[in-house]
Amino acid sequence: MIERRHRRGHSQQESREPRPPWRDVHGIVVVDKPVGLTSNAVLQQVRRAYRARKAGHTGSLDPMASGVLPVCFGEATKLSGLLLDSPKIYEVVGRLGTRTDTGDAEGEVVETTAVPAVDIAGLDAALEEFRGDIEQVPPMYSALKHEGRRLYELARRGETIERPPRRVTIHRLERLAWATPDLRLRVACSKGTYIRTLIEDIGAALGSCAHVVELRRVAAGPFTIGDATELDALTDPAADARWRATRLLPVDAGVPELPLVRLNDADADRLCHGQPVSLVGNESCPEETPASGLIRVYGPGDTFLGLGQADGEGRLAPKRLFNLPATP
């Protein structure tokens, strides 16, 4: 009996198709993250779909939030820091009259107030106070650390820690709809902005309280929701591998706003060996190349070499170089 069970298990193992091996993949996939999953869960599903050895995402979304989540593979992970620092755009629905401990619909209600009779003029006047540079107190339910512990871990234990305010920038704040008690906004903001805190503060400015009931990121850095692919489509086992490859953007798609230079063979070789090259009188460099700052660098055949740093004195030093396979 024991032997028969052993043989049956062995037969099942033999019939299972082996998974394709992990491989080197370089590029960026923009995922339309669904509601209900953590950003890391999405990352792991997409990584398995591409069988990519190395992957990372560029800015977490709460499980209740959806929208643009860029996933970087291989050498593209070197751009993660820049993409994390890039501005974001959200569409959010805030509900006045109730406040939760987490600042969103997943939390427990901790306060209720009457919803004020606010007209459009009064609402727009309140929103004006939140445009430009503002200060925010980060929520307890956040990934910030205090003495080595995540704030949300402390919050779940019932602890509240004093948090110093942080300066963030609200580039645009547009009213999309107002049908009491729900206010729909579009927010273009700097890194580090907490939309949950913004909604709570707007509710307080209107003489009420508020929490987020819907949140969708529609842009992150250079990527918009139009660039994104639904997670189910990317991870569908029946999806054609060639189609999935078309959703993989090149590494330099993460930095389209940076100026560029194209180097000849000799200068490209010097830069790739860690040596600065001259931008003065270099025919391969356009006249509009900036005197200082980060620059995209390309070598012969438009091969993306990485990022260089112009020093303001006509020299370009390597900043972050990429080891990409040669284009056939």
Tokens of 149: 């512990």
> Residue 297 forms beta bridges with which residues?
261, 306
Task: Say whether 62 is catalytic.
Answer: yes
How far apart are the C-alpha atoms of 246 and 61, rounded to whole Å? Answer: 25
How far apart are the C-alpha atoms of 51 and 69, rounded to whole Å? Answer: 18
* CA distance to 11, 155, 240, per residue, from 16 (Å): 9, 45, 21
Strand, helix or coil for residue 66: strand
The pairing of strands 315-321 and 304-311 is: antiparallel
Count of C-beta atoms within a 10 Å radius of residue 148: 5
Cβ contact 171:188 at 8 Å: yes
Q: What is the signed CA dihedral for 311, 322, 39, 85, rounded to 10 degrees?
A: 10
270 contacts: CB under 8 Å, gap ≥ 6: 276, 277
What DSSP designation does 23 have?
B
How far apart are the C-alpha atoms of 70 and 248, rounded to whole Å? Answer: 11
- The CA-CA-CA angle for residues 171, 173, 174, to 5°, reads 135
Catalytic: which of 62, 101, 104, 227?
Answer: 62
How far apart are the C-alpha atoms of 67 and 214, rounded to whole Å? Answer: 11
How far apart are the C-alpha atoms of 315 and 276, rounded to whole Å? Answer: 6
Count of C-beta atoms within a 10 Å radius of residue 61: 23
Burial of 223 (0-12, 13-18, 19+ CB in 10 A): buried
How far apart are the C-alpha atoms of 246 and 243, rounded to whole Å? Answer: 5
Question: Which residues belong to the active site?
Answer: 62
